[in-house]
Amino acid sequence: MPLLYTLLCYAGILLLGLWWCGAFRSSPVPRNGRFLAVLGGFGIWLGIWSLSEPTVPLSDFNVAYYPAGRAVIEDLPHLFKRCWDTPVCGFVNIPIVALLFAPFSMLTLRHAQWLFVAISLVGVVVTVLLLWSLTDRHPSRRWVILMLFVMNGPLVYSLKEGNLTHATLLVLVVGVVCLDRGWERSAGACFALAAIIKLPLLLFALYFVGMRQWRVVFGYGVTLSTITGLSLWYAGWASHVAWYREVILPLSDKGLSAFNVQSIEGVLLRMQDDARLYEWTPTAVSPNIRMAGRISAAFLLGLSSLLLLRRPGTMHRDTMYLELSMVLCLALLISPISWTHYYLLLLLPLSLYAGNRLTMPDRGGWLVAVMAATVLLAPPVRFTAGAVSNGLVETLLLSHYVMGALLLWGVLAYARWRVVEVQHLRLVAAKSVAVQDHLSPSVHEADVPVDAPDRKIAW
């Protein structure tokens, strides 16, 4: 029966994907289409919720955030007390983040859960509205963005787990909105806040420094140092040493092979014989696995750096969304620990593409590749395998979120490379066109091939 539900969920995602393909080309979605989309989306959302882990709703909130809200006020030395013999069970952020949950701890657990769920759902709605404000106002594209959220398994997983990843997505989207409107220092502050909640997003700091976005770097640095200083002032040095000892240090030389660890290192660990798929105790990483993981991360970082440092013959704003999307994919892939719910953050680049804000064509092979990545990233988070890994095929099936992120990164990287190449050609062609302007009329947009990779930026 679980297999049947899973197959039905995949079938629903495929049908919505085909509807997505049609929405790019259609006029405003008719009323009947909207009704069917809402009905189908709601059914898929309920199906994903019923299929998704965890079996106990709001488990992260119950065992980590709710107790931390009380401990940070009343019992600071026990803030990082582990609930099991694993560094990933319990509160894992720096101490000052626990203050956000102090108001929840004043309520009963049941009332605190309802309040957290209500705030989370409002945050998701605000995220969708902000993405709508960023993207093409065509109704069909807005419906596509909404459907992306409805059928996203990692998003449901984060909500059902009671985690903060969906709140991190909201902060990232606010940061992108600030960049779009030229509020660069505020954007830096938002990206710093996101990194404080989810450490892999610290990679954005390297990107902004490398791209010499100094105003963003200033906002980022001031926010990061201010919050860190306040945390040290309130909780003291000893609490931060405990945080490092209990949360960071145990995973510095070990890894996790659990099914919901969706990083390159996690995939490699699951390829080992007798890898534990439903256990979260850190295990030793063999030198070969460690070396393979580092080589993979170095390759992706090096190739991304080469692409990002190639300056296009156009305004940086034209490629900014592509670059941010690449960095986001990269942060999730190369982090030693990337939980499955982290992959809901890729709703940002997928929504930007659906909303016509990435310098990529929205048809042909490009659309097929993005749809394939979306299908790989969308299924519900469900553990259906045995407790021990049984081979390469099972490992790859369990790691489809990593495969989807790699595919999306590859498409974005190729688009970034094509932007540079096309712009160089356009600059050369523009000189001859300028000389002959009085002899021939300007080229009309309709004459540009629809599959031109720079269609969105050339005219």
DSSP designation for 77: G
CB 340 within 8 A of CB 157: yes
The structure tokens listed for 400 are: 């489809």
Of 370, 359, 405, the C-alpha closest to 20 is 370
Q: What does the buried/exposed string (b/e) look like for 374-409 if buried means 16 or more CB atoms within 10 Å of the residue's CB?
A: bbbbbbbbbeebeeebeeeebbeebbebbbbbbbbb
Confidence of residue 452 (pLDDT cuts 50, 70, 90): very low
Q: How far apart are CA 270 and CA 399, in angstroms?
A: 9
User: CA 194 to CA 202: how far, in whole Å?
Assistant: 8
Angle, vertex CA 301, rays to CA 319 and CA 249, nearest 5:
125
Average pLDDT, the chain: 82
Q: How far apart, in Å, are the Cα atoms of 172 and each of 121, 183, 190, 197?
A: 17, 14, 6, 11
The pLDDT tens digits of the residues spanning 409-425 come to 999 999 998 876 554 44
Alpha-helix runs per DSSP H in 64-108: 66-74, 102-105
Task: Look up residue 31 and give its two tokens.
Answer: 């009323």
What digits encode the pLDDT tens for the residues 192-212? 999 999 999 999 999 999 988
Once rounded to an integer, what is the mean pLDDT over residues 375-383? 84
pLDDT at 2: 45
So what's the pLDDT on residue 260?
A: 87
What is the per-residue pLDDT across 22-38, written as a single tens digit (0 to 9) for each?
555 555 656 666 666 67
Tell me, rounded to whole angstroms, the distance of Cα 62 from its chain centroid. Answer: 24
Please spell the DSSP secondary structure of 286-320, one letter per residue: -HHHHHHHHHHHHHHHHHHHHHHHS--SS-HHHHH
Residue with tokens 């990107």: 207
Using 50, 70 and 90 to split pLDDT, how confident is the model at 428?
very low
Looking at residue 430, what is its pLDDT?
38
pLDDT for the residue 315: 55
Per-residue model confidence (pLDDT) at position 15: 61
Q: pLDDT at residue 85 above 50?
A: yes
- Average pLDDT, stretch 83-108? 89
The closest of 334, 311, 351, 377 to 128, measured between CA atoms, is: 351
DSSP letters, 337-391, are: --BGGGGGGGHHHHHHHHTT-SSS-SSHHHHHHHHHHHHHH-S-----S-SB---
pLDDT exceeds 50 at position 174: yes
Average pLDDT over residues 338-361: 92
The total of other beta-carbon atoms located within 10 Å of residue 97's CB is 18
Angle between helices 347-354 and 316-334 (to 10 degrees): 150
In this predicted structure, the answer to whether residue 343 has a pLDDT above a threshold of 80 is: yes
Residue with tokens 């050609």: 425
The pLDDT of residue 246 is above 80 = yes
What's the pLDDT score for residue 17? Answer: 59
pLDDT of 444 over the 60 cut: no
**pTM for the full model?**
0.85
- Chain centre to alpha carbon of residue 39: 26
